[in-house]
Amino acid sequence: MNATGTLLFLLLWAVLLAGALSIVVSTLRTGAPPMPSPPRVRRALLAMLPRDTTGTLLELGAGWGGVAFLLADHCPQARVVAYELSWLPLLFMRLRQRCFPRANLILRREDFFRASLQDASCVICYLSRGHMARLAPRFAAELPEGARVLSHTFALRGWTPARTVRLDDLYRTPVYLYVVPPREQAR
């Protein structure tokens, strides 16, 4: 290998290592790795959300954007806001948005725990038990009555799902649909 080839090889390894380290650091900071949702889960989430959904859809912890882009396509009248803190997955989403733009998709590098939930008609999550436990009281207090919360794998403790689908996969992955109750009945 010549000097240019060696330099390119080392540069590629440095970029890959920096990307991997950024994911590790972000995971340690947030407590959640950017894990993609499997295709079956994505289909189940979309099946629980009517195509004519309007308003603002929030994806909390969008990772690599697999669900966010599908949401933008599935609900073209809705505004989809995808939150992600890890810079490598966010960079990937921004590149994808530049190459294949979705007019109704907004990408934000922001901590969703600090974001307002008040205008959301639906929130989509693939988060840990701890994150869901932290978000449950905020969902009850901030989301409008009738807003939907879609979550896969991790339930909202203390909430009763309006619908649960168990996928026919190795883990029997649950996908939950919650509807924010009227304020006097909020949990």
Strand partners, 107: 82
State the pLDDT at residue 32.
Answer: 64
Q: Which of 153, 165, 147 is nearest to 48 (CA)?
A: 165
The answer to whether residues 124 and 150 touch, using CB atoms and an 8 Å cutoff, is yes
Strand partners, 122: 57, 148
CA of 45: how far to CAs of 31, 106, 130, in Å? 23, 19, 21
In angstroms, the CA 40 to CA 34 distance is 18
Tokens of 33: 């790795």
State the pLDDT at residue 70.
Answer: 97
The answer to whether residues 187 and 140 touch, using CB atoms and an 8 Å cutoff, is yes
The answer to whether residues 66 and 42 touch, using CB atoms and an 8 Å cutoff, is yes
Report pLDDT digits (tens) over 40-67: 999 999 999 999 999 999 999 999 999 9
State the pLDDT at residue 93.
Answer: 97
In angstroms, the CA 143 to CA 121 distance is 8
Listed by start position, the domains of the chain span: 1-30, 39-185
Pick the CATH number of 39-185 from 3.30.230.10, 3.40.50.150, 2.30.130.10, 1.10.443.10: 3.40.50.150
pLDDT in tens, the chain (187 residues): 787 777 777 666 766 666 666 666 666 566 666 667 888 999 999 999 999 999 999 999 999 999 999 999 999 999 999 999 988 899 999 999 999 999 999 999 999 999 999 999 999 999 999 999 999 999 999 999 999 999 999 999 999 999 999 999 888 999 999 999 987 754 5
State the pLDDT at residue 148.
Answer: 97
Q: Which of 87, 40, 101 is nearest to 67 (CA)?
A: 40
